[in-house]
Amino acid sequence: MIASTLRRLDGFVPARPASSRRDIIDREIARDRTATGLGITLRGLSKAFDGGKPVIDGLDLHVPAGQFVAVVGRSGCGKSTLLRLILGLEAPSAGRVAVEGGAGPRRIMFQEPRLLPWAKVLDNVAVGLGLGRGGTAAERRERAAAALAEVGLAEKAGQWPSTLSGGQRQRVALARALVSHPGLLALDEPLGALDALTRIDMQAMIERIWRAQGFTALLVTHDVAEAVALADRILVVEAGRIALDVAVTVPRPRRRGDPELAALEGRILDHLLDGRA
C-alpha cells in the first residue's frame, strides 16, 4: 500500500526501465556542458567484492553539474561504495563512471576530520592542494588562509588541531576540501558526530559555500531531515539500486519546520521503514 501511494506523490520518481533511464541521461548530458561543477554519468555500474553479491547493481544515473544530491538508505545498502566508485577510489566490476565538464578536482570530506596532529591548522588546509602543487609556499599559504576565512576560522590558522572543538575540526576539514576549488565535493556522513546545533550551523555553511562556488555536491547521510534541508535531489538506495529519485522543489533558503519539508521527510522515512530499504 505504501509503495503504491509513494508512486503517486509529487516529486517521487520510481525506478525506470534501464532503456528509459539511458535516454533521459543522454538528454541531461546534452544540457550539462556549460555548468561550473562536474557532471557525473553512471552506465550499467556494478560492484561486487570477492565474487560475492553485487553491492552496486547495474546503476544508470546522471547528476547534472552543480546539482546537490543526497544519497540515503539503510546501512549496507551501498551508499558509501557508490561514492567511492564515483571518486575513483574503487574500480567497478562492470559498467563505467564518467566525470566530466566544468573544472576542478574531485574531493571528499569524511565523518572524521582526519587532520594531521603534528601540523598547524593552516598547514592542514594547505594539504588539500596536494604535494608540490598550488604554486609557491607563500601562494599555498595564501590560498589556505582564504579557505579558512570562508569557513569562519581565519583566527585559528596558527593553532594545533588538538585545541579545536569537534565542530571547528570539521570546518578545517571542509576548508581543506575546498582549498583546491573542487568541481565535485563528496560528503560521506561528515556531520554525523556533531551535536545538533553545530550540525545545523555546518549544514548552513555547506549550503552557502555550495551556492557561492557552484561545485557538484554528493552527500551520503542517514539523516533524512539533513537530506531534505540541503539537497536538490534525493536518491534512495536499496540493495545497490536506486529505488526512488526524489526532486526537492522547496525554494531556498529553507526553513526548519517547513511543512513541505516535513511532509517530504515523512514520505521518505515511510518508504525506508516499509521493510524494503
DSSP for 172-198, please give it.
HHHHHHHTT--SEEEEESTTTTS-HHH
**What's the pLDDT tens digit per position in 80-108?**
999 999 999 999 999 999 998 877 899 99
d(C-alpha 107, C-alpha 88), whole Å = 11
Q: Is residue 109 part of a domain?
A: no
- Is 127 found in the same domain as 54? no
- Is 154 found in the same domain as 81? no
- Is 79 found in the same domain as 135? no
Nearest in space to 56 (alpha carbons), one of 218, 244, 222, 241 = 241
d(C-alpha 47, C-alpha 52), whole Å = 9
What percent of the residues of the chain are helix, what percent strand, and what percent coil, each to the nearest 5? 40, 20, 40
Q: Is residue 42 part of a domain?
A: yes
Contact predicate 144/120, CB 8 Å: no
- Is 15 found in the same domain as 71? yes
- Is 77 found in the same domain as 159? no
- Whole-number percent of the chain with pLDDT over 70: 84
Domain span holding position 153: 114-180
Q: Is residue 267 part of a domain?
A: yes
- Is 152 found in the same domain as 19? no
Q: Please say which residue of 134, 157, 180 terminates a domain.
A: 180
Nearest-5° Cα angle at 189, 183 to 195: 125
- Is 123 found in the same domain as 21? no
Question: Residue 245's domain is classified under what CATH number?
Answer: 3.40.50.300
d(C-alpha 110, C-alpha 128), whole Å = 14
Residue at grid coordinates 533521459: 24
Q: Is residue 213 part of a domain?
A: yes
Beta pairing partners, 224: none
d(C-alpha 221, C-alpha 213), whole Å = 22
Rg from Cα positions in the chain: 19
Averages of pLDDT over runs of 10 residues in the chain (277 residues) are: 34 51 49 68 94 91 96 91 93 93 86 95 93 75 95 97 96 96 94 91 95 95 94 94 94 90 94 71
Q: Is residue 240 left, alpha or beta, with left meaning phi > 0 and alpha meaning psi from -120 to 50?
A: left
Q: Is residue 62 part of a domain?
A: yes
Q: Please say which residue of 132, 161, 180 terminates a domain.
A: 180
Residue 155: Cβ within 10 Å count = 10
Is pTM beyond 0.95 here? no
- Is 88 found in the same domain as 61? yes
The pLDDT assigned to 57 comes to 93
Number of domains forming the structure of the chain: 2
Q: Is residue 257 part of a domain?
A: yes
The pLDDT assigned to 136 comes to 85
Q: Please say which residue of 158, 180, 202 terminates a domain.
A: 180
The pLDDT assigned to 92 comes to 95
d(C-alpha 187, C-alpha 203), whole Å = 11
- Is 94 found in the same domain as 200? yes
Phi, psi values for residue 16, rounded to 5°: -95, 165
- Is 234 found in the same domain as 98? yes
- Is 226 found in the same domain as 93? yes
**What's the pLDDT tens digit per position in 97-150?**
999 887 789 999 998 999 999 999 999 999 999 765 667 888 999 999 999 999
Non-local (6+) Cβ contacts of 227 within 8 A are 70, 72, 219, 221, 234, 268
d(C-alpha 87, C-alpha 228), whole Å = 23
Phi, psi values for residue 195, rounded to 5°: -70, 165
Q: Is residue 36 part of a domain?
A: yes
Q: Is residue 251 part of a domain?
A: yes
The pLDDT assigned to 228 comes to 96
- Is 223 found in the same domain as 252? yes
d(C-alpha 96, C-alpha 42), whole Å = 6
